A = this chain, B = another copy of it.
Amino acid sequence: MTRRLVECVPNFSEGRRQDVIDAIVAPFRNTPRVHLLDYRADPDHNRLVVSLVGEPGPLQETLLQASRAAVARIDMRRHRGGHPRIGAVDVIPFVPLRHFTMEECVLLARGFARRYADELQIPVYLYESAAVRPEHRSLEQVRKGQFEALVSDGLGSESRAPDVGPSTLHPSAGATAIGARAFLVAFNVNLASGDLDAARSIARAIRTSSGGLPFVKAVGIALEGHGMVQVSINLTDYRVTSIHRAFAAVRDEAALRGIEVAESEIYGLVPAEALIDAARTSLMLAGFDASQVLDLRLLDLAGA
Please judge, given known A-B contacts A97-B294, A244-B283, A302-B299, whether A265 and B278 are in contact too, CB under 8 Å: no
Please judge, given known A-B contacts A278-B279, A282-B282, A285-B263, whether A37 and B297 are in contact too, CB under 8 Å: yes
Whether, in the assembled complex, A98 has its beta carbon less than 8 Å from a beta carbon of chain B, the answer is: yes
Whether, in the assembled complex, A296 has its beta carbon less than 8 Å from a beta carbon of chain B, the answer is: yes
A278–B270 CB distance below 8 A:
no
| Bound complex: CA A7 to CA B288 (Å) | 20
- Chain B nearest Cβ from A255, distance in angstroms: 14
Give the residues in chain B near A97, CB-CB below 8 Å: 294-295
| Bound complex: CA A176 to CA B265 (Å) | 47
Contacting B at CB under 8 A, from A235-271, are 243-244, 247, 261-266, 268-271
| Bound complex: CA A264 to CA B283 (Å) | 7
Please judge, given known A-B contacts A263-B286, A265-B286, whether A298 and B299 are in contact too, CB under 8 Å: yes
**Quick one: which of B37, B279, B284, B298 contacts A53, CB cutoff 8 A?**
B298
Whether, in the assembled complex, A92 has its beta carbon less than 8 Å from a beta carbon of chain B, the answer is: no
Give the residues in chain B near A299, CB-CB below 8 Å: 295, 298-299, 302
B281–A294 CB distance below 8 A:
no
Interface size on A, as a range, is 35 or more
Whether, in the assembled complex, A72 has its beta carbon less than 8 Å from a beta carbon of chain B, the answer is: no
**Quick one: which of B53, B266, B288 contacts A266, CB cutoff 8 A?**
B288
A294–B265 CB distance below 8 A:
no
- Chain B nearest Cβ from A237, distance in angstroms: 16
Whether, in the assembled complex, A225 has its beta carbon less than 8 Å from a beta carbon of chain B, the answer is: no
- Chain B nearest Cβ from A23, distance in angstroms: 22
| Bound complex: CA A37 to CA B296 (Å) | 11
B295–A271 CB distance below 8 A:
yes
Q: Which residue of chain B is the closest to A274 with respect to CB atoms?
A: B279
A298–B5 CB distance below 8 A:
yes
- Chain B nearest Cβ from A20, distance in angstroms: 24
| Bound complex: CA A183 to CA B53 (Å) | 29
Please judge, given known A-B contacts A53-B301, A288-B266, A301-B35, whether A295 and B272 are in contact too, CB under 8 Å: yes
Contacting B at CB under 8 A, from A32-69, are 35, 37-38, 53
Give the residues in chain B near A281, CB-CB below 8 Å: 282
Give the residues in chain B near A7, CB-CB below 8 Å: 294
| Bound complex: CA A247 to CA B284 (Å) | 9
Give the residues in chain B near A296, CB-CB below 8 Å: 272, 295
**Quick one: which of B38, B275, B286, B302 contacts A302, CB cutoff 8 A?**
B302
Q: Show 15 A/B contacts (Cβ-Cβ < 8 Å), sorted by A.
A: A5-B298, A38-B292, A190-B286, A244-B279, A264-B285, A264-B286, A266-B285, A270-B294, A271-B293, A271-B294, A275-B279, A275-B280, A275-B293, A278-B279, A279-B279
